[in-house]
Structure 1
Amino acid sequence: MCADMVDGVLAGTKAQHRAALLAARREVPDAVRAAEALALCEHLGEFVSASDTVCAYLPVGTEPGSPQLVDRLRELCARVLLPVARSDADGGPLALLWGVYVPGGLVSARFGLLEPAEPWLPASALGEADLVLVPALAVDRRGVRLGRGGGFYDRSLPICRPATKLVAVVRDAELVDELPSEPHDVRMTHVLTPKHGLFALANT
């Protein structure tokens, strides 16, 4: 997958991992990326229920998936919530706010993202989710997730109920044997990949 992979374990700092993983994503051909996005959408029907509240996100840039992913979720479940990123007075990340996804109701936001228009739900709305799709650069078989380092999800995921499925969405090659972890990391319970769909992680 990348130059610093040794026996299924990523070696080096988190910053080095991120750089290598982002570089690898940029090398994925558009046709492959589109096929993987379609496969992710097709897998959703295997595990999303009509009564579910799902917290999701809009994939951007080279992230696996496509905007059609949230449209498909809206067809399958009771409610789709999308994140709203806000920072404190010093520029530090706050726990994500949430907005109900309404097609055509998204507005431009920071980081080049789209987000739901106001009114927003408080950070505690994450506690109502049955399923959370979490962006990731990689995840290991113990559930350790490597994100982009912004800190928004680190501050948000502890709000989830213990029974909530926390699903890292990655390419098949981005599921690795081991990533470095820190005490504050919230581990993923599941991973979703284009080839294999949803499956549980050891989470130990």
Structure 2
Amino acid sequence: MDKAELRRRIVAARTRLTDPRGSATAIRETLLDRPWVQMAGLVACYWSLGTEPSTHGLVFALWKHGATVILPVLRPDDDLDWAVYDGPGSVEPGPRGLMEPVDTRRGVDAIRTAALVIVPALAVDPSSGVRLGRGGGSYDRALARVGPNVPTVALLHEGELIEGIPAEPHDMAVSMAALPSGIVTLGRV
């Protein structure tokens, strides 16, 4: 199956989810219970939309517990700039329906200093860690800037760990997937 067809199937399956809010709560609590999350001083995350596992409560909780949270700002070239989240009133609508922080832009390299990186995905291959995104390549470029020992976590709904996701040379692997049932450590490409 090619990436476009796999994306269509996953997006269709997500529209049929019965308790996405409960999934988001389980993922948030599982992550917040991990010492490596609790100790991360700078966390790169994203503001979820649509049927993605919600990150709104996670971002707020990380911020409330003292982490500096940076969220992406989509640039015209589809690369990701980063800005600091500073509470519930610090995000506003940006391009393509994305919510973005209103803080000063920190540049595409700001992600290099993150101690934890949380990214969206439609699916992840459990053997290789290759993630299937929306197809723009924004997160592959961002993940290429992350240090080798920094935990990179894709948030998924149950059933979205899928063997054999087609990979291209630019596709970047993640080290873990967080699902409502727990955190899975993935193989590396």
TM-score class, shorter-chain normalisation, is: over 0.9
TM-score (norm 2): 0.93
The match for 2:85 among 96, 101, 106 is 101
- Distance in 2 separating the partners of 1:66 and 1:79: 15
In the alignment, does 2:29 pair up with 1:45? Answer: no
- Distance in 1 separating the partners of 2:7 and 2:39: 35
Deviation at 1:23, TM superposition (A): 0.2
In the alignment, does 2:178 pair up with 1:202? Answer: no
The match for 1:155 among 141, 144, 167 is 141
* Bigger radius of gyration: 1
Aligned AA (2:138): F
The one-character-per-residue Cα deviations of 1:5-34 (angstroms, maximum 9, x if unpaired) are xxxxxxx111000000000000112xx111
Deviation at 1:129, TM superposition (A): 0.7
The unaligned stretches of length 5 or more in structure 1 are 1-11
Name 1:139's counterpart in structure 2: 124
Aligned AA (1:162): P
Q: Is the 8 A contact 1:50 1:76 kept in 2?
A: no
Deviation at 1:51, TM superposition (A): 4.3
Name 2:63's counterpart in structure 1: 74
Deviation at 1:49, TM superposition (A): 2.2
Distance of aligned partners of 1:178 and 1:46 in 2 relative to their CA distance in 1, 3 Å threshold = farther
Q: Which stretch of the first structure deviates more once superposed, 118-127 or 64-73?
A: 64-73
TM-score (norm 1): 0.86
Name 2:5's counterpart in structure 1: 16
Deviation at 1:155, TM superposition (A): 1.6
1:124 alignment partner, SS class: helix
Name 1:188's counterpart in structure 2: 174
The one-character-per-residue Cα deviations of 1:68-103 (angstroms, maximum 9, x if unpaired) are 121112133521100000123xxxx22x11111111
The match for 1:58 among 16, 39, 47 is 47
CA RMSD across the alignment: 1.3
Q: Is the 8 A contact 1:139 1:174 kept in 2?
A: yes
Give aligned pairs, total. 185
Aligned AA (1:46): D
Name 1:36's counterpart in structure 2: 23
Name 1:120's counterpart in structure 2: 105
Q: Is the 8 A contact 2:46 2:55 kept in 1?
A: no
- Distance in 1 separating the partners of 2:185 and 2:115: 15
1:35 alignment partner, SS class: helix
The one-character-per-residue Cα deviations of 1:92-151 (angstroms, maximum 9, x if unpaired) are x22x11111111111110111110114110111100011111100000112010000112
Q: Is the 8 A contact 2:40 2:116 kept in 1?
A: no
The match for 1:26 among 3, 8, 15 is 15
